[in-house]
Chain A
Amino acid sequence: MSISEPSESVEKRNPIRETLIYIAMTVVALTTVGPFLIMISVSLTENIRFITFPVELIPTPITLENFQLLFARTDALRWLFNSVYVAFVSTLGGVITSSMAGFAFARGDFWGKTVIFTLFLGILIMPDTALIVPQFVVLSQLGLVNSYTALIGPWFASIFGTFLLRQAYLSIPRDYDDAATIDGANLWQTWWQVLMPQVVPAMATLAVLRFMGNWNSFFYPMIVTSKSDMRTLTVGLGTVARSGGDAGLDMSGAVLGFLPTLLVFILMQRYIIRGISLSGVKG
């Protein structure tokens, strides 16, 4: 992880102490990784109704029938598509609108700036869960339940992202704007061609946080979808967990939900950790 190492070089190396530390760390690692290893192993096991210990970590024979069953019995492929589509559009939209608004709040001089900014600040402290029922009420009146608009809508703008990018734009010297203006650039060109390229790291951090946050969100997408074919993968897998199938089916669903986030984590770890130290909040 991208946090720097402490400089405790003054301490003498003590091999016994080091060994004990490694043992302790391995025990903790087993508790976090173990369940995922068993999940994968069970998902590849033939005809398995329950997970029983001691568990056979490498099943014989290895089979994909649990996944075939999952795709045959549930709308898992459709959920996967929905999740990919919703997470992709939400992330792209949220990052671009945050970048635009962040630029306006950092550089703009417009009527209502302070009022709108203060209102945004007010939303940031609102707990999401308190608003879920009223959000459903409004969406059902607009006839938007079971629609991509409802799933993507609130994610298409990010107050947190607007603050994050405002900070990033504020750290750029005004000389860049002035130079661009002298060269005849309008606001859009100044934003897109001169300033935005300099805040790409902040946008990448935001994109990863938003993607993970959207992919893993459960309460809101569960509320605004009632038809199976509109569910996201997380919501759909929640119904699988409640339906009481066998362990093989459950674990193949878990693997399907786990792999995409694992992939993003492996590729984007740096940005996730940076995002936490920046904000302390996800999404």
Chain B
Amino acid sequence: MAAASPSQRATSQFLRRLRRSLPWYPFIIVNTVIFLVFNLVPWISMFRYSVLKTDLLSTREFVGLDHFVTMLTDAKLHKAMLNTVWFTVMYIPLLVAVSLGVAVLVNRPLRGMKAFRALYFLPNITSVAVLSLIFRRFLSPRPDGPINFLIGLVGIPPQRWLIDVNQAMPSIVGISLWEAFGYFMVIWLAGLQAIPSELYDAAKVDGANGWRLHRYVTIPLLRPTAAFIIVIATIGALQVFGSIFILTGGGPVNATTTVVYQIYSEAFNFGRFGYASALSILFFVIILIVALIQSRYLRFGEDIY
């Protein structure tokens, strides 16, 4: 035989490719194994368990799509979804406004500015346990508790905060805002400082100043930053858990039970791991839809990000 058959050539080509590939695999093996064990396997087990009724100990029963039917009539879940929306609707506009306001405030070449920015960032480096330890004390319902004392200075009577059905969620919003605004301030600052000063000069030449300068230069050019911040912050807001777990345990009367807390509670308070897995799928789909809608609506990805 003068020449190798096509199949032999394909085999030797495959072997050559394999030989070239082999030295690279050790570089990705740890990453890949960890990804398999901690992401892919749980991801598959989430679907497997979503059709089971199990407490991981004794019961284990196939229930088909029952869990997904149950979701339609699960009043606690519906309340949790409303609570999650309520949290997000309060939190996002406040966060965007406060972090942008502070960013504009500190976006100046003044002495000591960097120190101020660092101080604003301080809550963000702190763990949720520390924040909760502090704010459980600050939001004490006692009239001489820190926050009640401070609002008393402007004539507002003492409030019950975390133990009040109507005030618990706004309190959690306040804590989350306090924790996060410095982080988003940094992102706004990066956006503000990416605007070339020539654009302001040109607008001034054209007669714009004060508010009009911001209306026609700053705001349009901050649009990609705003889109980025709103998407990131919303996905974060939908997942809020630590402060609720520590401070309210979902209460009072389920007032702060979010979808994530509900998933936690079904699994670890009631041992319904099958239903919790089905809820995890629901939650994942919700996040995906929100991210897709937002990125389309805000024209995310059209710009530098």
> In the complex where A6-B109, A153-B37, A241-B129 touch, is A38 in contact with B146 (Cβ < 8 A)?
yes
| B193 is an interface residue with CB less than 8 A from chain A | yes
Interface size bracket, B side = 35 or more
| B118 is an interface residue with CB less than 8 A from chain A | yes
| B27 is an interface residue with CB less than 8 A from chain A | yes
* Interface hits, B16-54 → A, CB 8 Å: 17-18, 20-28, 30-32, 34-35, 37-43, 45-46, 49
Residue with the highest number of chain B CB atoms closer than 10 Å, among A98, A130, A258: A130
Interface size bracket, A side = 35 or more
Q: Are B137 and A250 in contact (CB under 8 A)?
A: yes
Q: Are B56 and A254 in contact (CB under 8 A)?
A: no
Q: Which residue of B lies closest to A156 (CB)?
A: B34
B135 to chain A, nearest CB (A): 8
Residues in B whose Cβ lies below 8 Å from that of A25: 105-106, 116
Residues in B whose Cβ lies below 8 Å from that of A258: 126, 130
> In the complex where A50-B145, A51-B138 touch, is A238 in contact with B132 (Cβ < 8 A)?
yes
Q: Are A257 and B32 in contact (CB under 8 A)?
A: no
Instruction: Tell me whether chain A's interface is mostly helix, strand or loop, or mixed.
Output: helix
| A72 is an interface residue with CB less than 8 A from chain B | no
B43 to chain A, nearest CB (A): 7
Q: Are B35 and A159 in contact (CB under 8 A)?
A: yes
Residues in B whose Cβ lies below 8 Å from that of A204: none
Q: How far is the CA of A261 from the CA of B107 in the complex (A)?
A: 26
A219 to chain B, nearest CB (A): 5
A24 to chain B, nearest CB (A): 6
Residues in B whose Cβ lies below 8 Å from that of A100: 26-28, 30-31
Q: How far is the CA of A240 from the CA of B283 in the complex (A)?
A: 30
Q: Are A234 and B129 in contact (CB under 8 A)?
A: yes
Residues in B whose Cβ lies below 8 Å from that of A157: 30-31, 34-35
Q: How far is the CA of A134 from the CA of B283 in the complex (A)?
A: 13
Q: Are B149 and A53 in contact (CB under 8 A)?
A: yes
Q: How far is the CA of A231 from the CA of B241 in the complex (A)?
A: 18
Q: Are B283 and A129 in contact (CB under 8 A)?
A: yes
Q: Which of A54, A130, A236, A280 contacts B149 (CB 8 A)?
A: A54
* Interface hits, B176-213 → A, CB 8 Å: 178, 182-183, 186-187, 189-190, 192-193, 197, 201
Q: Which of A1, A140, A153 contacts B56 (CB 8 A)?
A: A140
Q: How far is the CA of A51 from the CA of B144 in the complex (A)?
A: 8
Q: Are B134 and A35 in contact (CB under 8 A)?
A: yes
Q: Are B41 and A21 in contact (CB under 8 A)?
A: no
The 5 A-B pairs of least Cβ separation, nearest first, read: A53-B149, A110-B21, A134-B42, A104-B27, A237-B129
Give the interface of A toward B (CB within 8 A): 1, 3-10, 18, 21-22, 24-25, 28-29, 31-33, 35-36, 38-39, 42, 50-55, 93, 97-98, 100-101, 103-105, 108-113, 116, 119-120, 123, 125-138, 140, 153-154, 156-157, 159, 162, 186-187, 191, 212, 215-216, 218-219, 222-223, 233-238, 240-242, 247, 250-251, 253-254, 257-258, 261-262, 264-265, 269, 272-273, 276-277, 280-281
